[in-house]
Every structure is written in structure tokens, then in C-alpha cells.
Structure 1
């Protein structure tokens, strides 16, 4: 008989986040998790499932429906040596907390000349693709990316969900951690034990462990003709579009930014200088957006490498639409392929 190799069990994006939270809480007593319905219920998306039972109500607990109060309490806890991880139940639910985030969380280190830093994480489920209604599917990353003093992460794979959340919790500075809702139940053949070992064995010198995510983009598909640049929930659409474009003889490289702040200019330059063409793909509205900033950086840093103007495929500049209109609103394969058709392909 011949031995067969069993493939790793498939792990969901949600399970990777849940395990990252549990491992961080196990590694450091000061890590605590709180927000609306995160305790007994385990969160609307069950990302905090089982944490209260395992660590107790003093370390994973429910709060009133008051996002500003949740953020303000996190400030006080971080000032007193803890590492709070707070959940904003849905993207647009976080808006009442913006005064605390913009005026205090983002500014404490600068206000104190670096003497007081706030090691806290703001978890925000965001983006569309789940048939949600208004206030449940916003892509609000530009607000936070524009605010100096905040780091902004958004994973697009199961592995990055675990590794990047561990890094965010270990960061000495505040991190806004955007979790694409439509990816929560996506799966990959990933061993959580291997991810845990990879993170635990990473070099640590007093700053956050870096295993490739913080401030570093990843080429998730090699290509030679055009660069599709994306992050978070739009990476999967970019990958599908790249597969479809290959059938038409176009080799598309896909760059997953992973970290919006800090931003990986080196990776951006490398892919655009390689292909000479770029399309930026993002769910958020295109006007005054992260996508706009990416286009500006390409124009400034890679102008002489460009064989065609840089294009964007984004959500439309409207409030998030009703579920029946969600599909045409979000970047999809057809819209990305239409953008590729608009590029200049003549030598």
C-alpha cells in the first residue's frame, strides 16, 4: 500500500481571527476584548466566540451601545498599561467614535512627544458583498488613513488575518484593523498551529513582530503586462479578473497592499515599473479615496515607466446602495476587464 499525504484542514478567515485574539490574550494578560455583543453572543460574526468562557468576563465583555464610550474607555485602559482590542460592530457604526479616535487616540503619542503611546486595536468589519443595508457595508478606510497617528491594516487571506491581527495587538501604537465581512467564511488550507509557530518564532526587538504584513505589500499573482493593485475585500475580484484576462492573452500581476498605513511604496514602484500599466481596484467610492492616493503615488514615482494612464475601478460616489444594487456598485470582474480594455496596449 502507498501512503497518502493528507492535506491540511481548511480554516476560515473568521477562525483565524478568533484564534489570533485567543493567542494574544493567552500571551499577555493585559490584552482584553470588548464591544457590543462580543461577550456572551461571541459577536455578530462570531469572531469573539468562546473568549468570555475561556478568559472570563473581565477580559472579554459586552458594552453599552455607545461607540464613543467604547473608544474612550480603550484610551483610559491603554494609558494604564493594558492592550484593549475593541470591536465596532459594523463599519458605519464606528462614526460616533470618530471624535475620540481622531482627537485623542491618533494624537496621544505626538501630544506627549512620544512619551505616551496607546497600544490598542480598533476592529472594524467593513465592506460589502453580504447583502447588507445602509450603515452595514461602508468602506470607511480613507477617514482613518487620512488621520496621522493611526496605522491601518486590512487582510485579504486567512493567513494574513491571523498574522496581521497578532501584529496589530503587539503594536505600541493604535491600529485600525479592517476586516472584510464577505471574507469571514472564506476558507484556505492553512494550519493555525503553523501560523502560531511562525509568529511566535519571528524576531522581536521591542517593536512589533513583523512577519511580512505590517507596512509590506504582497504580490499574490505574478504578471508582466499590467498591475492590478488592491487591498482587503477587492483582492479576490482582482485575482478573478487576472485569471479572466489571461484567457485574452493579458498577463496581470496582482498586488495586495495589506497595510494602507504604513504604505509600501517600494512594492508599488516595483510592480508598476515591471508592467508599465496599472489599475487600482477598491470597493470604496473613488472620489478623494485611498485609490486616489495610490494613483497619485504611481504618477509621482513611476511616471516614466507608464505606457498608459493609471485607471481606477471603485464603488460609485453614492451612499451605499440597497442590496439589489450591490453587485453593479462593487468592483467586479467585468468592470475590471472593461478598465483593462481602456488601457493603451500599442507599443
Structure 2
């Protein structure tokens, strides 16, 4: 499957499996969504289970909070992550706090799906990576898949979770992986090992990282699109790097990170979002706190730039093979 197909399959399975699951968002019903992630679901499950909403992100998320408190399991889609900001108050002040402020009498078991990151030359209004904003909010969980296999298993786990989950889908990976070293546009997922998606219901636990490849020279921490960038650079250069796909940022598999960095003694963090206050800063702090006496070099970060997301210079904005390769060289050269 492609990642789009895997997401569609996860939603289809959960709609059939649990009558409390509902899917809502802008153009997700009859049209099937901008990226076709919900194609065919309304025709199969009906307009009361899969339905279009007005163009109101605050309304979409607010309705989902109410649905969750009432006993449903809503899966709202925000058409692009860049559009989520009008709904921040509902997510932060209501969804994230509902369980605590009601002494667990009410919960918000909602999964907010949204495409994020670059890959379509959408510029600053269709390409942002705001995941760090949500990792700062106690009560929210944050998930970022990098493969079709993980996208399906993580999405089902998120829908079944009793807390609100932000499910960020890297649009650059929707229809295929890509040559991470040369930064070419996406290939197809067909034939790719990570595109083998089991039939039926399965879950991948939230808070469990994946070791993409084992290595001894350094640890690379990445998620989403940047997993493939890192893998492409490592494959092309032959560096004996261990690549950890975080998969979920909150909860974070700090044990897997700590085990890897203590083994390699060097750590590189790669993410697409802007550098300042990005999630890489939290990762760097955690690695330094927990692995300081095992580090043989300072923790390095390769990220997007602290600028508005450019339209025509998208591929220069991405952490690409040159910058990732230079960071690897610095880490290996450090004493």
C-alpha cells in the first residue's frame, strides 16, 4: 500500500469495527479529501459516520471534543497542518485538559489527522511542521509515521487511545518514498519493504520507536520524512550509523534513544521544522542529560531554517544530503 491507502484502510477498519468512530473534516466526505485519504468511506459507511464540515477549524476540533466527551471516537481531519491554529484553544484548553479537570469523568478520545511538512511546493501556508507546539502541551499525544506499515498501525492505536492524539502525516511520503540522498521527488511505494501492510486490524504501540538500521559509529534520531533522508545519506556514504525512527514524539521512547546513544557515543538529530525551539532542542537536552558521560562529541542538529517556508526554494529548505552529510563528518571527526 501507499501511505494514503494505509491510512484509508485504517479508517475503514475502525469505522466498521467500532460504531462510535466518526470521521469529519473539510471535503472529506463526498470528495474524499484533498489527498484522497478518505476516498470511498462515506459511500461505504454513510453520511452520519463520514461527513463534511464548514471551513472552521475551531468548529471542527470543538465539535470533536464534544463528541469525545459524549462517548464517540471522532477522527477530525485538518486539511493542512498550517490551518490548525484557529483550533489551538480547543485543543489546548479543552481537549488536553478535559480528563484532568473532570477527574476522569470525561475524556477526549479524538485523533486529529493532518498532512504536514513540505513536498508539494505549497510554501508557507501549506508546508509547515508545527509538531513542537503540541509536544509542549501536557495531555496531548503526538504521532508522526514514516511508512505505510507504521501509518496504519499507529493510526488504529491512536483512534483506540482514550486521550487526544495529533497524527501528523508527512505529505512528502503519501505516495511513495524517495531517493533521500539525491532529494529527488517521490518514487512509488510498490515493492518497498515498508509498504507491506498486513490485512485487518493491528496496532503499533504509541511510545515505541523503531530501529531502522543498527550501527556503531553514531545515532541518528529522526521522524517522518527525515527518516528517509537520513537513510539515503547513510546508504550513499557507507557510514555505520544507527537510525532511530521515533514514530511518536509524545510519548517518547527515551529508553531506545538512551540505549543507542550510550552505545555509539555520538548523536545527530534531523527534523524538517525550524531550528529554534524545534523538537530537536528537547531531544538534544534529553540526550545530554541522560548520556553526557557517554558522549564523545556535542549533539548535532540539522533542521529547517528559521525563516518562513519558501515556495521555490523548498528543496534548499529541507535538511538534505549535503547538510546531513556535513554534520555526520563533524561528529565523526570530533574527539
TM tier relative to shorter chain: over 0.9
What does residue 269 of structure 1 align with? 258
For 2:200 and 2:216, locate their aligned partners in 1 and report how far apart those are by CA, in whole Å: 34
For 1:235 and 1:285, locate their aligned partners in 2 and report how far apart those are by CA, in whole Å: 17
CA displacement at 1:50 relative to structure 2: 0.2
CA displacement at 1:117 relative to structure 2: 1.2
For 1:245 and 1:261, locate their aligned partners in 2 and report how far apart those are by CA, in whole Å: 32
What does residue 319 of structure 1 align with? 308
User: Against the structure 1 CA distance between its residues 191 and 157, is the aligned structure 2 distance closer, same or farther, given a 3 Å change threshold?
Assistant: closer
For 1:261 and 1:254, locate their aligned partners in 2 and report how far apart those are by CA, in whole Å: 19
CA displacement at 1:195 relative to structure 2: 4.5
For 1:23 and 1:68, locate their aligned partners in 2 and report how far apart those are by CA, in whole Å: 27
What does residue 184 of structure 1 align with? 174
What does residue 160 of structure 2 align with? 170
For 1:295 and 1:146, locate their aligned partners in 2 and report how far apart those are by CA, in whole Å: 15
For 2:92 and 2:211, locate their aligned partners in 1 and report how far apart those are by CA, in whole Å: 32
What does residue 84 of structure 2 align with? 94
For 2:23 and 2:106, locate their aligned partners in 1 and report how far apart those are by CA, in whole Å: 21
CA displacement at 1:328 relative to structure 2: 1.1
For 2:30 and 2:271, locate their aligned partners in 1 and report how far apart those are by CA, in whole Å: 34
What does residue 228 of structure 1 align with? 220
What does residue 130 of structure 1 align with? 120
Pairwise mapping of residues 166-315 of structure 1 onto structure 2 (< 5 A)? 166-186=156-176, 187=189, 188-189=192-193, 190-192=195-197, 194-196=198-200, 199=202, 211-246=203-238, 250-315=239-304
Aligned length: 320
For 2:314 and 2:137, locate their aligned partners in 1 and report how far apart those are by CA, in whole Å: 28
Instruction: For residue 196 of structure 1, give the secondary structure of its aligned residue in structure 2.
Output: coil
Which piece of structure 1 moves more, 236-245 or 139-148?
236-245
Instruction: Tell me the TM-score normalized by structure 2.
Output: 0.93
Unaligned runs of 5+ in 2: 177-188
Q: Is the 8 A contact 1:159 1:195 kept in 2?
A: no
Query: Of the two, which has the highest radius of gyration?
Result: 1
Pairwise mapping of residues 29-44 of structure 1 onto structure 2 (< 5 A)? 29-44=19-34
Q: Is the 8 A contact 2:81 2:128 kept in 1?
A: yes
Q: Is the 8 A contact 1:162 1:195 kept in 2?
A: no
Which piece of structure 1 moves more, 43-52 or 328-337?
328-337
CA displacement at 1:213 relative to structure 2: 3.7
CA-atom RMSD, angstroms? 1.2
For 1:56 and 1:263, locate their aligned partners in 2 and report how far apart those are by CA, in whole Å: 37
Q: Is the 8 A contact 1:213 1:259 kept in 2?
A: no
Q: Is the 8 A contact 1:163 1:195 kept in 2?
A: no
Unaligned runs of 5+ in 1: 1-10, 200-210
2:93 is equivalent to residue 103 of structure 1: yes
Q: Is the 8 A contact 1:315 1:331 kept in 2?
A: yes
